[in-house]
Amino acid sequence: MLRIFGRSVYCVLALWTGLAAVASATPSPSEDKVIQTLIQRVEKTTDMVFVRNGSEYNATDAASHMRSKYDHFKAEIVTAEDFIERCATRSEMTKVAYKVKLAGGAAMRESGDFLRDELRKLRQH
């Protein structure tokens, strides 16, 4: 009986330790810099229209919204990919995907796809 109890306690402690590690996850300084650079790229793309829940926003407002969500969810984010998925792809309230419209007649596309492309370019340099 003690052996079963001891294993149960060990399993609970291992699970708790694992959950505590996940709960305190934050991006490394280098990954935080990548995330901040992605947000800055959005902010500087002045010919972009960001569509959130059917309303259009300029690049500055879009970047501000992403920064706010990043600050709020930072403890759940480890990578730039996590940031894109958690903060820049869809509305938390409506679950509707964010869209991006670029000047020059480019078709509207989902913001997650746009940001993953930007991240790929950023990591190639």
Q: Is the residue at 60 inside a domain? A: yes
For the chain, the domain total comes to 1
The predicted model scores a pTM of 0.78
Beta strand 99-102 pairing with 48-52: antiparallel
Q: Which domain holds residue 77?
A: 26-124
Model pLDDT, residue 21: 45
Residues in Cβ contact with 32 at an 8 Å cutoff, skipping those fewer than 6 apart: 26
In a domain, 75, yes or no: yes
What is the per-residue pLDDT across 25-62, written as a single tens digit (0 to 9) for each? 899 999 999 999 999 999 999 999 999 999 999 999 99
Query: Residue 63: pLDDT above 90?
Result: yes
Q: Name which of 104, 43, 110 is nearest 70 in CA terms.
A: 43
Q: Note whether residue 12 is domain-resident.
A: no
Burial 11-23 (b: 16+ CB within 10 A, else e): eeeeeeeeeeeee
In a domain, 9, yes or no: no
The residues facing 109 across adjacent strands are 100
Q: For residue 119, tell me if it sits in a domain.
A: yes
Beta-carbon contacts of 86 under 8 Å, excluding residues fewer than 6 positions away, are: 69, 73, 76, 77
Residue 13 lies in a domain: no
Percentage helix, strand, coil for the chain under 3-state DSSP, each rounded to 5:
60, 15, 25
H or E segment and range at residue 102: strand 99-102
Distance, CA of 73 to CA of 86 (rounded, Å): 8
Q: What is the pLDDT of residues 71-107, one digit of tens each?
A: 999 999 999 999 999 999 999 999 999 999 988 777 8
10 domain residue, yes or no? no
